[in-house]
């Protein structure tokens, strides 16, 4: 029997959404189950499940392509640890993009940090993601109907990565793949790409950096300025205890002063908000 819930609680975080559920399905493949870190998309069914396995994993941080038979991408995260993966087939009334967005938002509400995010043809070839990265032919679909995201969970689980991949195939079937990777050793410092910061800003309207509560750091001002300069039409507010110092540091990195407005000094950490 299916147990229905109108309000989902995941790891203590309440998520009100018509798209997310914790239903149990007889149609799920034998031995499979949801990951504890993510909710299930409403009426989705598990069509592929990979139990925990120890391995060395490489996650791309850039568009992927194949050159002379070798997989190439601009950056990567590599580590040894345990990987668990689950693939859902989505009901016809929901697209892979809707499921991808709902799952991303659920993870971000838990404090997960985005490391790399691409969509459509910016990701490269879907066949490479399906066969070379995830080893799952079900995930092969249209290049313009895909999305990939790599996140790092918040402390105390900050040595856990989560990879999301959403795809709609030519037969209109949509899938969401979720992979949890628990590193055997501390992951250390991992930085997002500038393009990911821009995509997040445009999608959510805000970039929050709770750890950046001190004076500007050159590494971060470089990353943020490059992200902002990828779209010179955007204007933002800069908030935080050291907001003016960050604003000046961004100006020094060639972000036009007219694009940066001072925000609240009472905001924890550093927050950059899009001016609509």
- Write out the DSSP string of 54-87: EEEEEEESS-BEEETTEEE-S-EEEEEEEEEEEE
Query: What span, in angstroms and rounded, lies between the C-alpha atoms of 213 and 270?
Result: 6
Closest CA to 37 of 8, 62, 66: 8
pLDDT score recorded for residue 206:
95
Per the rule left: phi > 0, alpha: psi between -120 and 50, beta: everything else, 124 is left
Place of tokens 């598990």: 46
pTM as predicted: 0.87
* Mean pLDDT in residue range 236-250: 96
Query: What span, in angstroms and rounded, lies between the C-alpha atoms of 259 and 189?
Result: 29
pLDDT score recorded for residue 19:
58
Closest CA to 275 of 231, 228, 235: 235
User: What average pLDDT is seen over the chain?
Assistant: 89
Question: Three-class SS of residue 24?
Answer: coil
Residue pair 123/149 in contact by the 8 Å Cβ criterion: no
15: pLDDT strictly greater than 50: no
pLDDT score recorded for residue 20:
55
* Mean pLDDT in residue range 203-226: 95
Place of tokens 């859902």: 88
Query: What span, in angstroms and rounded, lies between the C-alpha atoms of 39 and 56?
Result: 26
Instruction: Tell me which DSSP letter residue 8 carries.
Output: E
157: pLDDT strictly greater than 70: yes
Closest CA to 106 of 202, 18, 14: 14
pLDDT digits (tens, 9 = 90+) for 67-76: 988 889 989 9
Instruction: Specify the domain boundaries for CATH 3.40.1000 within the chain.
Output: 8-183
pLDDT digits (tens, 9 = 90+) for 189-210: 999 999 999 999 999 999 999 9
pLDDT digits (tens, 9 = 90+) for 16-41: 344 555 444 558 999 999 999 988 88
Question: Residue 151: CB partners within 8 Å, gap ≥ 6?
Answer: 104, 107, 108, 112, 113, 114, 115, 161, 162, 163, 164
pLDDT digits (tens, 9 = 90+) for 79-125: 999 999 999 999 988 889 999 999 999 999 999 999 999 999 999 99
254: pLDDT strictly greater than 90: yes
pLDDT score recorded for residue 171:
84
* Mean pLDDT in residue range 53-65: 95
pLDDT score recorded for residue 11:
35
Question: Residue 39: CB partners within 8 Å, gap ≥ 6?
Answer: 8, 10, 15, 20, 21, 22, 102, 103, 106
pLDDT score recorded for residue 135:
95
Under CATH, domain 194-274 is a member of which superfamily? OmpA-like domain (3.30.1330.60)
pLDDT score recorded for residue 57:
96
Q: Selecting from 3.40.1000, 1.25.40, 1.10.150, 3.40.50, what CATH number does the domain 8-183 have?
A: 3.40.1000
């Amino acid at each position: 029997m299916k147990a229905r819930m109108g309000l989902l609680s995941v790891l203590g975080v309440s998520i009100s959404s018509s798209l997310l559920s914790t239903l149990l399905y007889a149609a799920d493949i034998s031995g499979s189950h949801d990951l504890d870190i993510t909710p299930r998309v409403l009426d989705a069914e598990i069509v592929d499940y990979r139990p925990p396995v120890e391995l060395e994993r490489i996650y791309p941080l850039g568009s992927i392509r194949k050159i002379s038979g070798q997989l190439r991408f601009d950056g990567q995260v590599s580590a040894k640890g345990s990987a668990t993966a689950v693939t859902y087939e989505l009901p016809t009334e929901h697209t892979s993009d809707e499921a991808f967005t709902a799952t991303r938002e659920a993870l971000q509400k838990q404090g997960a940090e985005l490391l790399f995010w691409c969509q459509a043809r910016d990701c490269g070839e879907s066949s490479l993601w399906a066969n070379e990265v995830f080893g799952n032919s079900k995930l092969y679909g249209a290049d313009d109907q895909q999305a990939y995201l790599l996140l790092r969970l918040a402390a105390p689980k900050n040595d856990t990565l989560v990879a999301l991949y959403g795809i709609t195939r030519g037969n209109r079937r949509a899938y969401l793949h979720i992979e949890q990777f628990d590193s055997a050793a501390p992951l250390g410092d991992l930085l997002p790409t500038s393009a990911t910061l821009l995509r997040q800003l445009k999608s959510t309207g805000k970039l929050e950096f709770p750890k950046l509560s001190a004076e500007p750091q050159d590494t971060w001002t470089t990353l943020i300025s490059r992200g902002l300069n990828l779209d010179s039409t955007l204007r933002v507010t800069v908030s935080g205890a050291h907001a003016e110092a960050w604003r000046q540091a961004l100006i020094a990195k060639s972000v036009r002063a007219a694009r940066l407005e001072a925000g609240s000094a009472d905001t924890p950490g550093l927050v950059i908000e899009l001016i609509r």
